[in-house]
Structure 1
C-alpha cells in the first residue's frame, strides 16, 4: 500500500510539508491532491493515517493563530461498510509539551452544508475563502477549548462527499479520526489516552452518531463522555417544520446530502422534482451555509413537486429513511451531557426531549439542561463554559450524578457561567489579535 506521506519517517513535519499555506489562497478539498485516497488504502485498518501535513490555521482565513496543527488523511468506513478516506485537523498549542495526562477532545463542527468549502479542514486554514461557513465562527470556541491543554481533533465528519444528514457514517468518521490522532507521533498520545466528544447543532448530531457507534465500532477507545449541544433530535421532524421558513435551506441541504447516501431517495427526487427544483438542490454544492440560507429564505420545496409533500413523505421509502436518520436508538456506555434552548426556532426542544428519552430508555446516563432565555445561535457560546467544565470533570475521572433534567433561565446566570463567558470573551479577543486561544 502506498501511503504517500508528507512527513518524515519520524512523523515530524518537514519544513515544506504545507507549502500551500504560504500562498494567499488555498485549494478547496475537491481540488486538493492531499484529499485523494492513495492506492491500496482499502487494505489499511480503519483509523490508519495515510498522509499528513503541517498546516497554518487562521481565524476567518486571515488572522493566523499561534497553534501547532496538522491534517491527517485516514482510512474510515462508509454506512454500507466500504472503505473511505476522511481528513481530520489535529491541534495543540505552540510549544505545548507532551504530558502523560494529556487528553484528546474530538470536536465535531457544525458543517451544516454539502459544499466542501465548509469542511473544517479547509475553513480553518490560512488562505481559505469560506465566507458564511459555520466552523469559522466555531473556531473561537475551539481556541477557547484549547486553553484547557487538551489535544483537539476536528474531523470532516461528512466525509469527502458532504453527506450531511447521513446516519452512523459521521460517527465512523469521527471515531476513526480519533484513532488517527492517537497514533500520530507529534501529538505524543497513546492508545490509553482519555477521549471526549463534543459538538453543537449539526456537530451535535454527528457527535450523537459517534457516541452511539463507539461500543461496536471502536471499543478500544477510552471515551469518558460526550457533550451534545442542540443535537437535532429528529431530522425528519426538522425537515417538515423548517421547509418554507427562513431556514428552508437547511432541510434542502439535508435532502441533497441524503441523495448521495440513499439511491432510493435520489430516484424519488429525480422522479418527482421539476428541473428548477433539481437546479436549486444542485446549486447548494457551491454555497456556504449562510449563503444557502440567505438564498432560500421562505423557499418551499413543495412547489417543485408533482405531488403533495405530505404524500411523498408518507411513502415507505421516505418513512424508512426518516427512521434511519433519527438518533437515540442505542445507549452509549459513557455519560452524556445534552444542552438545548427551550425556544429554539431551528431545533425544536420537543425533538431533543425525545432523543434524551430514547437514550434513557436504552439505559444511558444523560444530564440534560434546557435553557429558557437562549435560542439556537446564542446557546452555543453561552453553554460552552459549562460544557467545558463538564468535560474537564470527565477527564478527571469524577463521578457523574444519575440522569437528570433541569430547566434554567440561563446557563449564563451562575457565577461559574459568567466567569466562563468572560474567559471566552478574553480568548476571542486574543484570537482576533492572532495570539493563542
Structure 2
C-alpha cells in the first residue's frame, strides 16, 4: 500500500484487516518469517501526519499455547536513514493496556485511525525522541490480534519474532547481528520483561544489548487485587476481559460465577480504550458482579493457575537490565517490582534498579526518560552495565541520571513538539 492509497481510506481495524490473516502454509514457516508487508503513514492522534517512513510486517509467531499465529509489527526509520548502513534497533513496546484492537500500534498510530484514549498515540512523542537519536524502531502488536492483555510469555514471542522479521526485511538492509535494545514502560515494560525473559530460549541468536523495564508490573495478579475498587479498577477488569479468551478454565469460572451485569461489563470492555475503561469503571468492585465472594473465586484452582502463570521473574534474562519504579506508584506496587528484581538478581542477571521517591506512575515515564535512553545508548556503545539498587529522590536529578541536564529534557520536549506539528522524523 502506498501513501496515496493510505490517504484515500481509513485504516481497517486488525480484526477485519486481511493483512492480519494467516496463510495456508503458516505451520511450515519459521518464527519471524515475513508473510506480507505494506508501507503506511503514521499520524499523531490519527490526525497529524508525520514525515517518518514506516512499514508494517505480518510475520509468523506463536501464541500462549504454542500454536502458530500471525503477528504484526510496525517499523519506523529515522530521518536520513540509509539502507545497508550499520544501525541500532530498538524494539519499543507500547503500553497497549487494553483489549480493543483500536489500541494496537499497528492501527492506533496510522493516519485516519479512530482510537481516542489509546495510549500508543501519545507514546508517538517518545518514539520521536528515539528516532531523533538515530534509532530504527520496531513496534510489535505484543498482545496479538485478539488482545490478550496481561497474558504471559506470548508478548515475548511476538516481540522477538518481530525483531527477527525486522532484521530480515530487505528494504532496511539490516545485518542479522544488528544490536537490539528492548524498551517499554508500564504495560510496555511488562511486555519488554517477557521479551527479555523469553529471549535466551526463544531467540538466542539475537544480539540484545540491554532492556529498559519501566514500571514492569512484576505480579499482575497482585496488581489485580490492589487496583480493584480503586480509581484504576478498570485496568484489572481489562485484564480479565482479555485473559478469559486465553485461559479456558478462567472463562469457565467467569461463566459460572459472574452475573449478567458482570458478563456485560467484560464484553463491553472489548471496545474500550485504556482511558475510557479507567473513566467508566473507576471504583468498581468485582464482588458486585459475582454470585460468590471475590476471595472465594480467587481461591479456585483455575484462577490460581492463571495468577501463577502471569508472574514475572521465573525466567532469568541474560541481557543487562535497567528497571525503574516509583515508590509512590498508584498503579504498580513497588513491592511487586522489588520481588521481580530480587528474582532476577538471585538468578544471576545484571540489574540496575532505580526506585524514585518524587514521581508517581505517569510522571516517572517523563522524568526518567533521559536516564533510561542514556543507559540504553551506553549498552549500544558496549560499556559495562552498572548493577545495584538505589532509592533516590528523583532519577532526573540523581547521580545515576547521565541525562539529567536541561539540554537533555529540552531535546525530548523538542521531539515531542515536532510530533504535535507533524515534523517528527
State TM-score, norm by structure 2: 0.97
1:90 maps to which residue?
A: 75
The one of 207, 215, 222 aligned to 1:222: 207
Offset of residue 429 of structure 1: 1.1
- Please show how residues 154-169 of structure 1 align to structure 2 within 5 Å: 154-169=139-154
Counterpart residue number, 1:428: 416
Q: What is the CA distance between 1:412 and its match in structure 2?
A: 2.1
Distance 1:249 1:19 in 2: 39
Deviation for aligned residue 1:432: 1.4
Query: Considering only aligned residues, what root-mean-square deviation do their CA atoms show, in Å?
Result: 1.3
* C-alpha contact (below 8 Å) 1:412/1:421 kept by paired residues: no
**Structure-1 residue corresponding to 2:156:** 171
Equivalent of 2:116, from 126, 131, 138? 131
Residue in 1 aligned with 2:395?
411
Indicate conservation of the 8 Å contact 2:84/2:172, yes or no: no
Tell me how far 1:330 sits from its aligned partner. 1.7
- Match of 2:282? 297
Measured in 1, the distance between the counterparts of 2:424 and 2:101 equals: 27
Offset of 1:302 from its aligned partner?
1.1
CA distance in 1, matches of 2:374, 2:84: 20
Are 1:385 and 2:370 counterparts? yes
1:324 and 2:309 matched: yes
> Does the aligned pair in 2 maintain the 1:386–1:420 contact within 8 Å?
no
Q: Which shifted more, 412-421 or 327-336?
A: 412-421
The offset of 1:17, in angstroms, is 3.6
CA distance in 1, matches of 2:424, 2:118: 22
Give every structure 1 segment of 4 or more consecutive aligned residues whose post-TM-superposition deviation is greater than 4 Å: none
What is the Cα deviation at residue 93 of structure 1? Answer: 2.1
How far did residue 197 of structure 1 move? 0.5
Match of 2:343 among 353, 358, 372: 358
Query: Quick check: 1:343–1:375 contact (8 Å CA) kept in 2?
Result: yes
Q: After superposition, what is the alpha-carbon deviation per residue over 1:337-379, rounded to whole angstroms, capped at 9, x for unaligned?
A: 0000110000011111111011111111110011111111111
3-state SS of the aligned residue for 1:412?
helix
1:216 and 1:334 map into 2 onto residues whose CA distance is 13
Counterpart Cα distance in 2 of 1:132 and 1:315: 34
SS at match of 1:173: helix
Counterpart contact for 1:20–1:26, Cα < 8 Å? no
2:368 partner SS: helix
How far residue 20 of structure 1 moved from its aligned partner, in angstroms, is: 4.6
Q: Structure 1 CA distance, aligned partners of 2:4 and 2:285?
A: 45
Question: Which SS does the other structure have where 1:29 is aligned?
Answer: coil
The 1:292/1:20 distance shift into structure 2, 3 A limit, reads: farther
- The 1-side partners of 2:104 and 2:243 are apart by 17
Which secondary structure state, in structure 1, belongs to the residue aligned with residue 161 of structure 2? helix
8 Å contact kept, 1:87–1:121: yes
SS at match of 1:42: helix
Give the CA deviation at 1:25: 2.6
Deviation, structure 1 residue 42 = 2.0
Contact 1:28 1:117 in 2 (8 A): yes
What stretches of structure 1 of length at least 5 have no aligned partner? 1-15
How far is 1:147 from its partner? 1.1
Partner of 1:211: 196
Provide the C-alpha distance between the structure 2 equivalents of 1:352 and 1:425, rounded to a whole number of angstroms.
29
Please name the residue that 2:247 is paired with: 262
Cα deviation digits, residues 84-125 of structure 1 (max 9, x gap) = 011000000243113543111000000000000000010110
Q: What's the offset of the Cα at 1:420?
A: 2.0
Q: CA deviation at 1:241?
A: 0.6
Aligned partner of residue 38 in structure 2, secondary structure: strand
Partner Cα distance (1:288, 1:349) in 2: 25
CA distance in 2, matches of 1:140, 1:239: 29
How many residue pairs get aligned? The number is 421
Shift of the alpha carbon at 1:32?
1.6
Q: Quote the offset at 1:19 in angstroms.
A: 5.4
Distance 2:231 2:346 in 1: 35
Q: Give the distance between the partners of 1:319 and 1:203, measured in 2 at CA.
A: 24
Q: Is it true that 1:245 corresponds to 2:265 in the alignment?
A: no
8 Å CA contact retained: 1:66, 1:93? no
Q: 8 Å contact 1:59–1:432 — kept in the other structure?
A: yes
Displacement after TM superposition at 1:422 (Å): 1.5
Following superposition, the deviation at residue 79 of structure 1 comes to: 1.6
Q: Deviations over 1:189-229 (max 9, x none)?
A: 11110111011101111111110000101011011111100
Contact 1:78/1:172 (<8 A) preserved: yes
Q: Structure 2: which 5+ residue stretches go unaligned?
A: none
Correspondence list, 1:34-53, <5 A = 34-53=19-38
Equivalent-residue separation in structure 1 for 2:130 and 2:371 (angstroms): 12
**Residues 79, 131 of structure 2: 8 Å contact kept:** no
**1:260 partner SS:** coil
Specify which of 267, 274, 296 is matched with residue 259 of structure 2: 274
